[in-house]
Structure 1
């Protein structure tokens, strides 16, 4: 064992260094890219055919990960040349256009943001006169890929959560004379060891299919690692695979395997909605705790079922299980309470009560399903515990199987909900900004991506400005938009429609010009939330 263990340690060291390197290579937190303007413009009717198509985005776009398609009024696609300066990143994509006939054309575009999220959209323009464009929205959707991605993530994350929970519970079960991890799983370890990497490859394949115009396998084959690691989800799969390889190294200590299960359980926390939140660090911590306590709950139930099956086959009594019962009840109680607390924290980090109650979409339905099934699991656990106390060491196998099945469906709902955009909290921004002791009241209705109305109220006793301009900057991204002129709606009150194209911190400046040439500025930072994507 000494020689094998030495080789294992060397291999583990190399893989662990690669794991740390991959974490170091993780892309910084970006907001989602937004299309700022186009030429031709949306809905524009041109007299002459345009010579080029120009798309300007709110952040530099990797041209190689951009997919832009041109369709005529019959839905026939016209091939476009490669964009000019097609290497590297740029805020502008410029495509030479062929000689186009009169009619209505549809541009369907898809790019990848700096945070790895696909962003897409479409618009129309006409030459000569409008002829009506083809409806191409449904043709660009990849519903099968989204469904397959949910299934493969469920396979991988379900195996990880159950496997980790069984491992941790078996560590304690041995103290009560119960089977260890290898004994209780038997050949199931080999089957799970095959399914996990297969599922990870399935995740990769499905995710690649959700990125129009991007082939992750081609990027891998061509060695374009810098492009690959712009996708946090790809990085998550890569880390999962590395940790899995560390997990199956033979001859390591029990502490090593316990730590690998711990890391493997927490990795999926970075592959969901977390990057669109105001406090991603807090969100990651709550998600890791949620996953680990869910693993203890679901894995603990699985371990207990496997132990009962094994004892029934060997016709052994349940006396060791009876002594194990108090520990299992305490562990399940703590885990279930932690699942509820961390789940609630996760929901309110993403949205609020009013948005949840008002939403009638898939996200809310999946959340309701999770709540109901979790309540069912708690009810079954309570009945099981009461029967244990009344009937000694007897366990109701049907109740245990129902609780376990409900737990598997909860995991599926959790994976699915992580792939579904969540409802944005519908709240307005209200604050008083001050400069040189002069306050102005600022209000922005219904914070979120899109066009939002900003109202600025100046003190009634002060002289009103002649002109008011709003400046919008995202300092962290080196991006600024065109100044927006506010319209006077009453004495001392101005309004402007602000185009928020990205999630993140926006630095807003109110610039007021007074008679005589005097200028004053008020400046604050406002966070714009966004619905999550995988």
Structure 2
């Protein structure tokens, strides 16, 4: 690769990234968000509902989720099993028995199409008059029922093992496609071990996915009912197909020789495409907007990174005991086109999931994406140095650089496996409620949002003067806007449920720093504005 062609490649990558930065922010993606419910949040019903109905903004899996109802004593009410609508895959329901008058809290959990659990809660009341205690009960129930599985870290390790197996397999066959080293014992060992990596990763994730999404632990690992539920999901089906691909890879590894047949090559290509499809078809892009565009783009990204960094790892491994001068030159040619391809497709996908570069530091996913980009940049620089040295000094001159590249590549894979476990729009949860006290013209406003998370939330505005009484205010209006995403103000319909106690419901589509504006009219021709920033978590 000449210096001039390298500059052209780098320029093309930079131009593509600039185009992505300019146009991708308009097509943001997120995990499932509750659009509406019946009963609606904080609704006052005259009689008991027949069912709990949840309608989301995208398809969800109900087999691993559930809907639970708690009464005013925080006791769980026995209801029917949660089912998904056959006519609308974004709706789940659960039939309930006849409920007595009182306050109830619905706690729900579903699974997004990409396998990530999504949960939420909201209160409702039955009777003729609101008690005003729904927000307090909601927070008590959430604090008492919030659970997390101990399987998150083991699953991240298995994802890393799966990614490593994928790139080693594809990198090995792409680098040595026409090389007599394909039948080398060291190369066949790489293929066999990588096949085992894929098998262990897919089967382990298949067993852990159910307990993880249900908030359970190791004891539910071999629960046949849970495994059956997982297999009915998109992710479960993909993991099953991937495990079958692992068997095919094992056969490919056992039959690899220095001169392979045409049938072997065809089988390898088919297995490669299927394996990559199981990763792309069950990841973040499959559950986002424009999946018909971004799932194939993700497949191209995975193929590119496998032929780049996978081939690099294989080259570093086999170079210790083999003459790899020709293979090193082939790798240099492969990296010339795969490197910019990986960078551009990775940036485009990241911006698509994040909804723009302005939100990259607002979530764990974005921070990991930033770290991955820095590491990939370091690999690119080392690769450019290695290719320059290869032209003048041969492979021995770049052996040390390749070892450093390989180390960084492993770190990139580790970060990637952590990113899969994160929601692109989630932030670390510090508290499930928000409250602030503001004072204007001697009037104290208690502003609260419960829970302050993506999805349905209850908004309260309680007004009082310091040390005195306040006549009923004429009107209260509330709106939220998210400046970082240029989202127009979201109005909240407020209802008075007690003396100067107003409540409303808002749907937060994204996490971030939202601006809350409450306009209060204590008297005719008088309006007070209370403003505060609300941190909404994923």
- Output the TM-score relative to the length of structure 2: 0.60
| Deviation at residue 200 of structure 1 after TM alignment | 1.1
RMSD: 4.4
Match for residue 338 of structure 1 among 336, 341, 344? 341
Which secondary structure does the structure 2 equivalent of 1:122 belong to? strand
Does the C-alpha gap of structure 1 residues 43 and 144 become closer, same or farther in structure 2, counting only changes over 3 Å? same
Partner residue in 1 for 2:364 = 362
Give yes or no for contact 2:456–2:507 (8 Å, CA) kept in 1: yes
The one of 155, 162, 178 equivalent to 2:161 is 155
Cα distance 1:391–1:406, how it changes in 2: closer, same or farther (>3 A)?
A: same
Mapped to 1, the partners of 2:33 and 2:107 lie a distance apart of: 16
Query: For the structure 1 residues 34 and 229, does the alpha-carbon distance in structure 2 shift closer, same or farther, using more than 3 Å as the test?
Result: farther
Partner of 1:169: 175
The aligned residue for residue 34 of structure 1 is 34
Cα deviation, residue 51, structure 1: 4.8
- Contact conserved, 2:79 with 2:94, CA < 8 A, in 1? no
Report the more deviating stretch, 30-39 or 381-390: 30-39
Distance (whole Å) between structure 2 residues aligned to residue 393 and residue 33 of structure 1:
53
Instruction: State the shift of 1:62 in Å.
Output: 7.7
1:200 has 2:202 as partner: yes
Paired residue secondary structure (1:253):
helix
In structure 2, how many angstroms separate the alpha carbons of the residues matched to 1:190 and 1:280? Answer: 33
CA distance in structure 2 between the partners assigned to 1:287 and 1:300 by the alignment = 19
Distance 1:78 1:296, change over 3 A: same
Structure 2 portions without partners, runs of 5+? 1-29, 256-262, 427-453, 458-490, 494-503, 511-537
Change (3 A) 1:115 1:203: closer
Match 2:390 to one of 388, 391, 410? 388
Tell me what 1:308 maps to: 319
Secondary structure at the aligned position of 1:309 is classed as: coil
> Is 1:136 matched up with 2:142?
yes
Tell whether the 8 Å contact from 2:206 to 2:239 is kept in structure 1 after alignment: yes
Q: Is the 8 A contact 1:33 1:114 kept in 2?
A: no
Counterpart check, 1:254 vs 2:265: yes
Among 398, 401, 405, the residue aligned to 2:403 = 401
Cα separation, 2, equivalents of 1:244 and 1:36: 42
- The 3-state SS of whatever aligns with 1:58 is strand
Distance 1:321 1:62 in 2: 49
Q: Does the 8 Å contact 1:65/1:111 carry over to 2?
A: yes
CA contact (8 A) 2:113 2:286 kept: no
Q: Distance between the aligned counterparts of 1:85 and 1:371, measured in 2?
A: 41
Quote the residue 2:67 is aligned against: 68
Q: Secondary structure at the match of 2:404?
A: helix
Return closer, same or farther for 1:31/1:229 CA change in 2, 3 Å cut-off: farther
Shift of residue 230 of structure 1?
Answer: 4.7
State how far apart, in whole Å, the 1-side matches of 2:99 and 2:406 are: 61
Q: CA deviation at 1:404?
A: 0.7
- Give the conservation status (yes or no) of the 8 Å contact 1:164–1:265: no
SS of structure 1 residue aligned to 2:396 = coil
1:276-323 per-residue CA deviation (whole Å, 9 max, x = no partner) reads 433212111211111011111122112211222224xxxxxxxx4334
Kept after mapping to 1: 8 A contact 2:65/2:109: yes
Q: Secondary structure of the residue that 2:424 maps to in structure 1?
A: coil
Deviations 1:317-350 (A, max 9, x none): xxx4334433221112221121112213323443
CA distance in 2: counterparts of 1:393 and 1:406, whole angstroms: 20
Q: 1:114 to 1:502 in 2, by over 3 A?
A: farther
Change (3 A) 1:399 1:72: farther
Q: Do the aligned partners of 1:83 and 1:96 also contact (CA within 8 Å) in 2?
A: no
Query: What is the TM-score with the length of structure 1 in the denominator?
Result: 0.61
CA distance in 2, matches of 1:396, 1:236: 39
Query: Shift of residue 253 of structure 1?
Result: 2.1
Cα drift, residue 372 of structure 1:
0.8
- State the SS of the aligned residue for 1:107: strand
SS of 1:203's equivalent in the other structure is: helix
Q: CA deviation at 1:418?
A: 3.3
Distance 1:257 1:380 in 2: 30
What is the Cα deviation at residue 122 of structure 1? 0.8
Name the structure 2 match of 1:54.
Answer: 51
How many residues align? The count is 390
Equivalent residues of 2:170, 2:307 under 8 A apart? yes
1: distance between equivalents of 2:34 and 2:295? 25
TM-aligned CA distance change 1:84 to 1:335, over 3 Å: closer
Q: 1:419 aligns with which of 415, 418, 421?
A: 421
CA distance in 2, matches of 1:285, 1:86: 28
Distance 1:85 1:96, change over 3 A: farther
Instruction: Judge conservation of contact 2:68–2:77 (CA < 8 Å) in 1.
Output: yes
Change (3 A) 1:450 1:276: farther
Cα distance in 2 for partners of 1:87, 1:281 equals: 24
Matched, 1:146 2:157: no
Instruction: Kindly indicate whether residue 283 of structure 2 is the aligned counterpart of residue 284 of structure 1.
Output: no
* Residue matched to 1:78: 76
